[in-house]
């Protein structure tokens, strides 16, 4: 009888071990943690979870979103635009049950846009950027991210903070919400984005010059966080 119980115990252990190896210990936590949070701030996407193809879900609602939008690598620095979300302000407030107008800079806005970034420093020295220098253009409306940095208008929020230097080998993530005052949520087909220059945090010499990219949003649907 004891030997039978021992064999059953060993069998259960082997089956459990095989399941862990097959599915991984973080599958459940990853699917439950990576949800849009009330107020718009988000848990960031898994670094290794990059799908081969992103197929947006058609949405009749005034909201669009896409993951893993674009990656730019230069001078030992990799910038990932890992998520962009935009929508009608009133709809987003009702969707998440929040009032964006508590942030003064958002009070006159008709559409909101979220950017989520991840930066990896592969150099052997620390690098830094000025996140105030991000700029985006929607149709003809220019949005300076410096308007969304300082209290009481600070809408940056993420697990890390781009205000600090990024150490060698480190990966950091941060994100920001900005608003549009003259352009509706569906009044643009692309986003022009300036990514600030990176400099050596010790010598202050430029490592990567500013980059200017275009993000085509023409055929976007709503892609949820994985």
Predicted confidence (pLDDT) per residue in 98-155, tens digit:
899 999 999 999 999 999 999 999 999 999 999 999 999 999 999 999 999 999 999 9
- Note whether residue 100 is domain-resident: yes
How crowded is residue 217: how many other Cβ atoms within 10 Å of its Cβ? 17
- Residues 134, 213 contacting (CB under 8 angstroms): no
**Domain carrying residue 85:** 34-216
Tell me the whole-structure pTM to 2 decimals: 0.77
- Residues 83, 114 contacting (CB under 8 angstroms): yes
- Note whether residue 10 is domain-resident: no
- Note whether residue 198 is domain-resident: yes
Split into its structural domains, the chain has a count of 1
- Note whether residue 164 is domain-resident: yes
- Note whether residue 2 is domain-resident: no
- Residues 217, 191 contacting (CB under 8 angstroms): yes
- Note whether residue 175 is domain-resident: yes
CATH number at residue 151: 2.60.40
- Note whether residue 131 is domain-resident: yes
- Note whether residue 85 is domain-resident: yes
Predicted confidence (pLDDT) per residue in 189-204, tens digit:
999 999 999 999 999 9
């Amino acid at each position: 009888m004891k030997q039978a119980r021992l064999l059953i115990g060993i069998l259960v252990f082997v089956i459990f071990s095989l399941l862990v190896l097959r599915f991984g210990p973080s599958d459940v936590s990853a699917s439950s943690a990576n949800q849009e949070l009330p107020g718009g701030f988000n848990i960031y996407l898994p670094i290794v979870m990059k799908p081969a193809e992103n197929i947006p879900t058609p949405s009749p609602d005034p909201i669009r979103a896409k993951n893993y939008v674009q990656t730019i690598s230069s001078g030992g620095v990799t910038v990932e635009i890992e998520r962009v979300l935009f929508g009608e302000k009133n709809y987003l407030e009702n969707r998440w049950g929040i009032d964006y107008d508590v942030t003064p800079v958002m009070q006159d806005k008709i559409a909101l846009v979220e950017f989520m970034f991840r930066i990896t420093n592969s150099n052997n020295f620390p690098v830094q950027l000025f996140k105030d220098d991000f700029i985006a253009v929607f149709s003809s409306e220019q949005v300076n991210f410096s308007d969304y940095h300082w209290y009481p208008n600070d809408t940056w929020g993420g697990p890390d903070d781009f205000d600090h230097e990024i150490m060698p080998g480190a990966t950091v993530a941060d994100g920001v919400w900005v608003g549009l005052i003259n352009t509706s949520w569906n009044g643009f087909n692309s986003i022009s984005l300036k990514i600030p220059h990176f400099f050596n945090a010790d010598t202050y010499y430029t490592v990567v010059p500013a980059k200017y990219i275009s993000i085509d949003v023409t055929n976007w649907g709503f892609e949820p966080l994985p």
